[in-house]
């Protein structure tokens, strides 16, 4: 394993290298090797330690002799060396260890290393390791039973062979696909000063349209915006009519007019030309959402506004804003300043100032990464107004009672500060933890202290205060607040059992843990109701545990209790959870992990960022999703095995009333791997567009085709058209944005056969360029339009390019010589 120094701006340089040795150690563990080398000219004093984050829990007794790796909390670990010798210049430490589960990609590697000097000095960030290639079968597969192939060039080539390049006239012009669109071959020319007629209630829409037209040259056609009856149901319906001399957009409401403007903009060429014709359109689902987690990594205001703009352009209308979690609290609450003074800062301080520990590679410096940050009241109001102008409802989430460590720690620090000042009563006012709690548990993200003590009256006071301030911010923004999402997921087993306060309340009321939890949900719901806000939560808020099964809880069913169903991974036993809840009377938003979790990796490849616990979520996974019949498009399980037919047969179908309670779809972009705006956009796009297609466009009817082969052929035909629409129209349109998007360009598929280079791409229309001299390809390299002779070349490099000349991941083929 080679070592390339990763030199920080200040302090000693420690070269760090990491390698997965084998995933075949056991079915539930792998072996890894970490090498650390002192590349300075000075010895490092004895007693040093190395902190780092890893999503794979280290098996404590598996570490090489002479070293120890301790689990501190969450994904934070500390490496120490035994003995009292200094770390000499040039000296390397090689540590082998085992960790749970698997490591098959860059996302599984440890990251965010920092040195804790033995002399008591301040921690020094060291950065991320050099990761050795995942080359051997035991490095590329999760276990011996992993049957899913690596998505290498040959695999992609085979997958892409089912696609074909369509002529532009066969590719839809509007995304999501409208109910009806007819164009007659004529054209219309809009200009930057187009006469614009509209009623006063459409001034917002007119202003947005004028801004869109601002970059156009001159034109002669006029535009009329109006609210009028439309021949399709729903307030979002619209009619777009384009004549040679005028454009008319009629909407059933202002929102409908706004939707029509988005379609108009998609039809508009850079010179202002439009095709003449008529578009009649309305959405399939009323709820079409996108969730962004800013707790794990903070996203600045500009990044959020960009995402809202993109959502609006594809007619998404709900923004689920995941503002809090174990690793961060991101909204300033004036009455509780510790929530951001402590809960919005991650790192290691030496002055006693409280903060959260490093997570997801955020490092020791509290100011140097996206681990820290929050929105001021003014910034949050800016986001609310921006979304509202684009007819996007912002649904804030404050996760509780689990996933709440940032708030718990912040309120514990508040208690400490006020107790030190002699204010004993004030110190207890908003406390979220029982000081005498001895509960033993570990959350999915490896936290041991992330659950609120729900027996404390101060918890209700805390929730009421936060909700009251959030309501005030919405009022100041002039934006309605209809729903607050309270999270409620993944409370670890064992929470509350060691809390004297919880035990006393359960004994007093004759409750078990389920009843204790239900009481908390009822209290949250009542607090929200007093503020005029409806309750929303993840699956678990509407479920109760019976043995190993999770079943609908009849207690909370009703139209003011909104459930977001996420845990549908094949083999989880929860594949039809959303349908069971809808049939039981709950309003449901489908947030299915196996189709709509955009933090999961696009494909099984070592260089593809993202988790994969629910499988790999490529664009087609979102596109193929049948919202009302999840079993209609049979798939492989996460290990690449054919699904057990018994699972599909046991799925509970939606009944008539249940179908009406499925309110829509939502994509989830969890933030563990969204360390930058570029990474966030890569993970979101173009999957967000596939989500929009499935949430807006009419039901394609695949599930109504009884014959599996005919059903698959119909779905493939539709996918081919959509893939061409992305490659030929939508991605080039995103390239023309004033600040173009860092969407994912699918790496090309490629093989060498008979001395010829064959290549294809998952989105027909995108360009593939290649080189045969070992250099990286650019837009000036030959474009591969047909199989190309290699003339004895030993190395071929290829990449997919967008219309700006930006390259995707480079693919290298080593050509075997005859």
Q: What is the pLDDT of residues 730-743, one digit of tens each?
A: 999 999 998 989 99
CB 750 within 8 A of CB 759: yes
Q: Which CATH number fits domain 180-281: 3.40.50.720, 3.50.30.60, 3.30.379.10, 2.40.30.60?
A: 3.30.379.10
Report CA Rg, the chain. Answer: 28
CB 492 within 8 A of CB 555: no
pLDDT value at position 11? 43
**Which pair of tokens denotes residue 231?**
């021949």
Residue 165 has pLDDT above 60, yes or no: yes
Q: How many residues does the chain have?
A: 818
For residue 210, give every residue at least 6 positions away whose Cβ sits within 8 Å of its Cβ, in sequence order, or none.
Answer: 196
- Write the DSSP symbol of residue 297: S
pLDDT value at position 10? 40
Confidence category of residue 816, pLDDT binned at 50, 70, 90:
confident
By annotation, the residues acting in catalysis are 490
pLDDT value at position 574? 84
What sign has the CA pseudo-torsion 579, 580, 585, 587? negative
Mean of pLDDT values over 322-351? 96
CB 397 within 8 A of CB 538: no
Q: Percent helix, strand, coil in the chain (nearest 5)?
A: 30, 25, 45
Mean of pLDDT values over 572-586? 92
Q: Which of 776, 771, 809, 768 is nearest to 793 (CA)?
A: 771
For residue 192, the SS3 value is coil
pLDDT value at position 8? 40
Between the CA atoms of 485, 490, 492 and 493, what dihedral angle is there, to the nearest 10 degrees?
100
**Which pair of tokens denotes residue 148?**
């899913």
What mean pLDDT is reported for the chain? 95
Instruction: Name the residue with tokens 């459930």.
Output: 563
Q: What angle do the packed helices 301-313 and 677-684 form, to 10 degrees? A: 20
Q: Judging by DSSP bridges, how do beta strands 246-251 and 222-227 pair with one another?
A: parallel
Percent of the chain residues topping a pLDDT of 90: 90
Task: State pLDDT tens for residues 67-109.
Answer: 999 999 999 999 999 988 999 999 999 999 999 999 999 999 9
pLDDT value at position 205? 98
Mean of pLDDT values over 465-482? 98
Same fold, 14-160 and 709-818: yes
pLDDT: is 4 or 445 the higher one?
445
Long-range contacts of 362-370 (CB under 8 A, 24+ apart): 362/53, 362/112, 362/297, 363/112, 363/114, 363/125, 363/127, 364/51, 364/114, 364/122, 364/123, 364/124, 364/125, 365/125, 368/125, 369/112, 369/675, 370/297, 370/298, 370/299, 370/675, 370/676
Residue 352 has pLDDT above 80, yes or no: no
* Residue 446 φ/ψ region, left for φ over 0, alpha for ψ in the -120 to 50 degree band, beta for the rest: left
On whether the 14-160 domain is CATH 2.60.40.290, my answer is yes
CB 659 within 8 A of CB 587: no
For residue 501, give every residue at least 6 positions away whose Cβ sits within 8 Å of its Cβ, in sequence order, or none.
Answer: 434, 436, 437, 453, 455, 456
b/e 745-782 (16+ beta carbons within 10 angstroms → b): bbbbbbbbeeeebbbbbbbbbbbbbbbbeeeebeeebe
Task: State pLDDT tens for residues 518-573.
Answer: 999 999 999 999 999 999 999 999 999 887 788 999 999 998 899 999 988 877 77
Mean of pLDDT values over 771-777? 96
In angstroms, the first-to-last Cα distance of the chain is: 31
Q: Of 244-248, 351-355, 370-374, 461-465, which range is least confident? A: 351-355
Instruction: Give the whole-angstrom CA distance, residue 698 versus residue 176.
Output: 9
How many Cβ atoms sit within 10 Å of the Cβ of residue 35? 20
Provide the whole-model pTM.
0.97
For residue 680, give every residue at least 6 positions away whose Cβ sits within 8 Å of its Cβ, in sequence order, or none.
Answer: 292, 299, 303, 307, 669, 674
- DSSP strand E in 430-523: where? 483-485
**Which pair of tokens denotes residue 670?**
């969890």
Instruction: Give the whole-angstrom CA distance, residue 391 versus residue 25.
Output: 52
Residue 7 has pLDDT above 70, yes or no: no
Mean of pLDDT values over 181-191? 96
How many Cβ atoms sit within 10 Å of the Cβ of residue 127? 18
Between the CA atoms of 494, 495, 500 and 503, what dihedral angle is there, to the nearest 10 degrees?
-70
Mean of pLDDT values over 124-137? 97
Please confirm whether the linkage preceding 564 is cis (ω < 30° from 0): no
- Write the DSSP symbol of residue 178: P
Instruction: Give the whole-angstrom CA distance, residue 80 versus residue 47.
Output: 8
Task: State pLDDT tens for residues 601-629.
Answer: 999 999 999 999 999 999 999 999 999 99
Confidence category of residue 461, pLDDT binned at 50, 70, 90:
very high
pLDDT value at position 396? 98
Domain map (residue ranges) of the chain? 14-160, 180-281, 287-625+672-699, 709-818
CB 256 within 8 A of CB 236: yes
Task: State pLDDT tens for residues 8-52.
Answer: 434 458 999 999 999 999 989 999 999 999 999 999 999 999 999
Residue 285 has pLDDT above 70, yes or no: yes
**Which overall architecture, per CATH, does domain 709-818 show?**
Sandwich (2.60)
Task: State pLDDT tens for residues 208-252.
Answer: 999 999 989 988 899 999 999 999 999 999 999 999 999 999 999
pLDDT value at position 9? 37
Confidence category of residue 182, pLDDT binned at 50, 70, 90:
very high
What is the DSSP track for 45-74?
PTT-EEEEE-SS-B-GGGSPTTEEEEEEET
Mean of pLDDT values over 254-265? 98
33 burial (CB, 10 Å; 0-12 / 13-18 / 19+) is middle
Task: State pLDDT tens for residues 631-640.
Answer: 888 778 889 9
pLDDT: is 559 or 261 the higher one?
261
**Which pair of tokens denotes residue 312?**
């609006």
Distances (CA, A) of 269 to 216, 223, 580: 9, 16, 47
Instruction: Give the whole-angstrom CA distance, residue 330 versus residue 346.
Output: 12
Confidence category of residue 818, pLDDT binned at 50, 70, 90:
low
Instruction: Give the whole-angstrom CA distance, residue 281 versus residue 180.
Output: 6
Max Cα-Cα span within the chain: 85
The fold adopted by the segment(s) 287-625+672-699 is TIM Barrel (3.20.20)
Instruction: Give the whole-angstrom CA distance, residue 560 versus residue 761.
Output: 46
């Amino acid at each position: 394993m080679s070592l390339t120094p990763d030199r920080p701006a200040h302090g000693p340089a420690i070269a760090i290298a990491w390698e997965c040795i084998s995933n075949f150690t056991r079915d539930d563990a792998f072996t890894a090797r970490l090498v650390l080398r002192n590349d300075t000219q000075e010895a490092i004093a004895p007693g040093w330690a190395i902190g780092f984050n890893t999503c794979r829990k280290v098996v404590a007794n598996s570490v090489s002799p002479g070293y120890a790796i301790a689990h501190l909390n969450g994904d934070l670990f500390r490496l120490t060396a035994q003995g009292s010798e200094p770390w000499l210049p040039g000296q390397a430490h090689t540590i082998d260890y085992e960790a749970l589960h698997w490591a098959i990609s860059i996302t599984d590697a440890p990251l965010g290393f920092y040195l804790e000097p033995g002399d008591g000095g301040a921690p020094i960030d060291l950065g991320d390791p050099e990761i050795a290639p995942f080359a051997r079968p035991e490095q590329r597969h999760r276990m011996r039973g992993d049957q899913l192939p690596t998505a290498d060039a040959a695999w992609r080539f085979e997958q892409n062979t089912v696609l074909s390049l369509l002529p532009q006239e066969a590719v839809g012009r509007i995304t999501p696909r409208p109910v009806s669109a007819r164009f007659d071959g004529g054209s219309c020319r809009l200009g930057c000063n187009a006469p614009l007629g509209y009623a006063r209630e459409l001034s917002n829409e007119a202003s947005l349209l004028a801004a869109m037209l601002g970059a156009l040259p001159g034109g002669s056609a006029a535009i009329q915006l109006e609210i009028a009856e439309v021949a399709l149901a729903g307030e979002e319906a619209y009619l777009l009519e384009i004549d040679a001399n005028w454009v008319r957009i009629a909407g059933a409401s202002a929102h409908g007019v706004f939707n029509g403007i988005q379609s108009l903009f998609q039809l508009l060429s850079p010179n202002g030309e439009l095709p003449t014709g008529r578009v009649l359109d309305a959405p399939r689902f009323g709820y079409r959402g996108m969730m962004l987690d800013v707790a794990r990594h903070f996203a600045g205001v500009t990044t959020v506004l960009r995402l809202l703009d993109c959502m609006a352009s594809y007619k998404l209308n709900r923004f689920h804003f995941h503002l809090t979690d174990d690793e961060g609290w991101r909204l300033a609450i004036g009455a509780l300043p510790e929530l951001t003074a402590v809960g919005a800062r991650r790192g290691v301080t030496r002055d006693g100032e409280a903060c959260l520990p490093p997570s997801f590679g955020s490092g020791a410096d509290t100011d140097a990464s996206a681990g820290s940050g929050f929105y001021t009241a003014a910034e949050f109001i800016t986001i609310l107004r921006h979304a509202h102008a684009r007819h996007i409802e912002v649904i804030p989430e404050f996760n509780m009672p689990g996933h709440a460590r940032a708030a718990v720690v912040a309120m514990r620090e508040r208690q400490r500060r006020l107790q030190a000042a002699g204010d004993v009563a004030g110190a207890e006012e908003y406390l979220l933890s029982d000081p005498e709690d001895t509960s033993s548990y570990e959350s999915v993200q490896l936290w041991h202290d992330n659950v609120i003590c729900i027996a404390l009256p101060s918890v209700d006071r805390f929730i009421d205060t936060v909700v009251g301030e959030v309501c005030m911010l919405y009022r100041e923004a002039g934006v309605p607040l209809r729903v607050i999402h309270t999270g409620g997921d993944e409370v670890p087993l064992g929470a509350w059992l060691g809390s004297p306060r919880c035990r006393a309340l359960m004994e007093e009321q004759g409750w078990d843990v389920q009843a204790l939890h239900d009481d908390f949900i009822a209290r949250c719901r009542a607090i929200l109701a007093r503020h005029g806000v409806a309750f929303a939560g993840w699956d678990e808020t509407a479920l109760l545990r019976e043995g190993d099964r999770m079943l609908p809880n009849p207690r909370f069913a009703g139209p003011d209790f909104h459930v977001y169903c996420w845990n549908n991974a094949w083999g989880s036993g929860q594949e039809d959870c959303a349908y069971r809840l809808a049939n039981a009377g709950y309003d449901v938003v489908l947030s299915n992990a196996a189709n709509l979790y955009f933090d999961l990796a696009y494909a099984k490849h070592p260089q593809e960022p993202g988790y994969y616990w629910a499988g790999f979520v490529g664009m087609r996974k979102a596109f193929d999703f049948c919202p009302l019949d999840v079993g209609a498009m049979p798939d492989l399980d996460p290990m690449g095995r054919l699904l057990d037919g018994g699972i599909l047969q046991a799925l509970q179908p939606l009944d008539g009333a249940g179908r009406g309670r499925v309110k829509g779809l939502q994509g989830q972009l969890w933030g563990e791997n969204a360390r930058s705006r570029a990474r966030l956009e890569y993970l979101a796009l173009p999957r967000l567009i596939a989500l929009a297609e499935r949430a807006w466009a009419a039901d394609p009817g695949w599930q109504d085709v009884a014959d599996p082969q005919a059903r698959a052929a119909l779905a493939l035909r539709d996918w081919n058209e959509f893939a061409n629409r992305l490659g030929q129209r939508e991605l080039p349109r995103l390239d023309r944005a004033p600040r173009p998007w860092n969407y994912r360009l699918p790496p090309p598929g490629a093989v060498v056969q008979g001395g010829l280079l064959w290549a294809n791409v998952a989105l027909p229309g995108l360009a593939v360029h290649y080189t045969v001299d070992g250099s990286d390809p650019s837009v000036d390299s030959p474009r591969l339009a047909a199989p190309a002779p290699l003339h004895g070349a030993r190395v071929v490099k290829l990449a997919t390019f967008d219309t700006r000349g930006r390259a995707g991941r480079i693919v290298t083929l080593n050509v075997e010589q005859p």
